[in-house]
Amino acid sequence: MGDTPIRAIKFDHRDTTFRHRGGPPGHAEIGRTVDTALSETMGAGFAHWEGAEVAWTVLYDEVIFVIEGELEVTAAGETHRVTPGQMLWIPEGTELVYGGRALFGYILYPGN
């Protein structure tokens, strides 16, 4: 760590720059807030899904927490409906489809 002071940083989804991730149909976007410039080990950000379905194979362990709406994550034939105040842990290597209408946060390890 050297002489660099440790500091906490607060992020707000309203101040986050999002980029297109899926759709049409629907629209999906993600905004990375914690990247390798801040952490060598973790990644984090916000995502906003409006009816899009995005297939993905997770390259890291991931935790999703829903802020608004309902996110649907389908993996191995099972659909997990995640609502505000709930979290979902997804292990590395999981093949899945993200869907639904939700504002949610995500945390990745490793984040690079």
Give the pLDDT confidence of 50-76 residue by residue, as tens digits: 999 999 999 999 999 999 999 999 999
Contact 97, 70 (CB under 8 A): no
d(CA 94, CA 72): 15
Q: Where along the chain do its domains lie?
A: 18-109
pTM for this model (two decimals): 0.91
d(CA 65, CA 101): 13
d(CA 69, CA 95): 23
One-letter amino acid for residue 68 of the chain: E
CA 85, 71, 55, 34 torsion: positive or negative?
Answer: negative
Q: What is the second-level CATH architecture of the domain 18-109?
A: Sandwich (2.60)
Could you tell me the pLDDT band of residue 112, with boundaries at 50, 70 and 90?
Answer: confident
Q: Kindly state the average pLDDT of the residues 34-59.
A: 96
